[in-house]
Amino acid sequence: MGIAVAAALVLAAPVSTAETETEAAAETAATATATAEVAQAAARTATATATDPVSVMKYTAKERKEALAYWTAARMKAVGKSVDLGPTGPKSKPYKGTPLKTVGRLFFVNANGADTWCTATAVKSANRSAVMTAAHCVRRGSSPGNTNILMVFAPGYSKGRTPHGTFAVRSAATPRAWQTASTNDIAALVVAADKKNRKLTDVVGGQKIAFNRAVGGTVSALGYSATRPQRGEVLLRCVGKAKKEQGMQAIPCDLTGGSSGGPWFADFDTATGKGVLVSVNASLDSLTPTKMYGEVLKATAKKVYDRAQNSS
């Protein structure tokens, strides 16, 4: 199932490619700068060849430094205040349990030059630096030049606090099928070490990830939805039975924009904060959502993850 098949809507951050969510405006001067940078990003060359099933974007040391400087605490708070996607639905509850160090907000400037965010998760990886999210949180589908910039990951974000710091994104891997045909909405990021030269999972740990797992069982989906009263400041959670639908998997859930890329955990224990990542939030069934869709993580998703975790 593609991202817009059967009335499913991409649930990017508050800025939606399905035109169902509201764009968050940056400050005038910052927007002008970001727009110029987006134009530069449009010319960015993928590191893989056209026959490679994985497409990788890289961010230079200069770009990473600019990203960390751009995303101040005030800017992080402001982007949530500028978006209101309506009341939080009855299926979405504030997460209560051991604080999740591994799950956080992924802030960036989108291809339109607007500040926005998704949700992402630190996972176990060979380089101790891999983060899983949705491909549409990295670039627009079927539009190779429309890539996001000034991207940072704030694990454990809560009510304006970044208790574990922020990590600039060094590279982003997506299926080439997403870049060319808007299919397979999964991405793996590699983040740079923090200001103390610590790698991500040395600071927050990493969740297990499973590939080619049979669809089914109870799943917890989490995300920083732009609905009120939370407005992206609080991690929300849906719990439901996963079912296979039209080539994807679905659970009852009414998380919306801003929750994109958030983890689907099987075998999730709120006492330990640990589970097994089996998908990420990708799309919704309607303007008033009742279902969340996520990819079934198969061979291509494994290649995306491996490209990230083996990146030095």
| Bridge partners (DSSP) listed for residue 280 | 263
CATH of domain 5-309: 2.40.10.120
* Domain limits, the chain: 5-309
Query: pLDDT digit of tens for each residue in the chain (312 aa)?
Result: 222 222 234 454 443 333 333 333 334 334 444 444 544 444 444 444 558 999 999 999 999 999 999 999 999 999 999 899 999 999 999 999 999 999 999 999 998 999 999 999 999 999 999 999 999 999 999 988 889 999 999 999 999 999 999 999 999 999 999 999 999 999 999 999 999 999 999 999 999 999 999 999 999 999 999 999 999 999 999 999 999 998 999 999 999 999 999 999 999 999 999 999 999 999 999 888 999 999 999 999 999 999 999 997
The reported pTM is: 0.86
Q: Name the residue type at position 57.
A: M
Q: Which residues of 213-250 are buried (b: 16+ CB within 10 A; e: fewer)?
A: bebeeebbbbbbbbbeebbbbbbbbbbbebeeeeebbb
CA 304/CA 280 separation, integer angstroms: 14
